[in-house]
Amino acid sequence: MANQDREVSYEWVHISYEERSRFAETYGYSGTQGKTNLEGMLLRPKGLSSKTLIILMHPSSTLHLLPVPQAFARSGMHVLCAGSRYPKNDTALIMEKVVLDLGAYIRHAKEEWGYETIILLGWSGGGSLSLLYQSQAETPTIVDTPAGDPVDIAGAKLIPADAVVFQSAHAGRALHLAEVIDPSVRDEANPDDRDVELDIYDPRNPNQPPYTAEYIARYRAAQRARIHKITSWVKDTLEDLKSRSTGELERGFVVHRTWADLRFLDRSLDPNDREPGGKLLGDPETVNSGPIGLARFSTLRAWLSQWSPEDSRANGFECAARISAPLLVIEGSADDGVPQPDSRRIFESAASEDKEMHVIKGATHYYANQPEQIAEATSLVRTWLEARQLL
């Protein structure tokens, strides 16, 4: 057994690679000056070398403060928490460009640091990103974004990872939004114009949990209809801007009320061991209209790339069906941050001949204050990698 109490060093990492953008999408020295700059954190157990590197990357978050990657490093594994060009701000995020960012880290890890084996660990929103990356690294096809802007993933010579771990993750940002967006909004410019019977936070709503099958079907259909309506407006607006042949290329907008999953209030839907109330981000009714709701602020291009189910390439089910690398799926039985069915469906969708799935009893989304579950997850990953001579 590895020593779980190794001292860990934290090393700031800077990766830079050539790229030129038509316009700036994010603050910083990125794209418009011919370079994209990335920052990450390399966690290594002091005094212990390794030829294997585990890489965690979320499209817009930083992950080095999470309990699990820290525990992996303390157990003797080398871990890179890689930040994309959109750290903590997904307003203008383009998933295809995040794939290129991840590719830059992997190339640097192999060519500059000398790691021989790369393991992608897709956490939360990083799950579908890891699957998208691996599918494109194995069989590259993408040459543009859903908005039609060139992005040469097919010619980027992405280096495939040696294995993928899908842990505490959902199947994709667009798919997740389709299940949590509030369908009660009737006027996108006026969030107070709502259908009471579709507002699960309105006490006047006659539909209360446990919800009937008829109401669930109506609610889900209304969610899909709202997203499709926004997507149609986005595409029309993009075409209008393009037709003007001016310097106006992009537009930002607000999407009101995006945190209203029926599962928050009805634990009988996709049941697991999660706590009631859907309070991962705070009181769900407050989050529904607050600044951290999914897709709250977006650009036209970002909407198509990361939030539109009919356009986003980061569909974990479809990407999993295109990978051959070994796959380990880990679900927390008390995870309140991702839809409960996603892990099993990802496992079943995966084309990998070598795939395993495990459920860790009682594990929440972040494993916060859960030393036993963290130890189980760490041991599980180590044992799985060692069995395949990947660690």
Tokens of residue 257, six digits: 């009320």
Our CA dihedral for 310, 313, 315, 317, rounded to 10 degrees, sits at: 110
Residues 76, 86: Cα–Cα separation, whole Å? 30
**Cis omega (within 30 of 0) on the bond before 371?**
no
| Res. 31: pLDDT tops 60 | no
Whether 345 and 315 have beta carbons less than 8 Å apart is answered as: no
Per-residue pLDDT tens for 307-329? Answer: 999 999 999 999 999 999 999 99
51 with 116: CB under 8 angstroms?
yes
The confidence band for 29, taking pLDDT boundaries of 50, 70 and 90, is: low
Q: DSSP states of 39-62 as a string?
A: EEEEEEETT---SEEEEEE-SS--
List CB contacts of 383: < 8 A, sequence separation 6 or more. Answer: none
DSSP 212: P
- Going along the chain from its start, the domains and CATH numbers come out as 8-171+313-387 (3.40.50.1820), 176-307 (no CATH)
Instruction: Provide, rounded to the nearest whole percent, the portion of the chain with pLDDT above 90.
Output: 93
Q: At what angle do helices 126-138 and 95-111 cross, to 10 degrees?
A: 70
Q: What is the pLDDT of residues 335-375, one digit of tens each?
A: 999 999 999 999 999 999 999 999 999 999 999 999 999 99
207 burial via Cβ count (<10 Å: 0-12, 13-18, 19+): middle
- Whether residue 180 contacts residue 261, with contact meaning beta carbons closer than 8 Å, is answered with yes
The band of 28, judged by pLDDT with boundaries at 50, 70 and 90, is low
Mean pLDDT of the chain: 95
Q: In sequence order, what are the residues at sequence separation of 6 or more whose Cβ sits closer than 8 angstroms to the Cβ of residue 106?
A: 55, 118, 158, 159, 161
Per-residue pLDDT band at 25 (split at 50, 70, 90): confident
pLDDT at position 1 is: 41
Region 264-275: mean pLDDT is 95
pLDDT over 90 (residue 19)? no
Our CA dihedral for 265, 270, 272, 278, rounded to 10 degrees, sits at -30
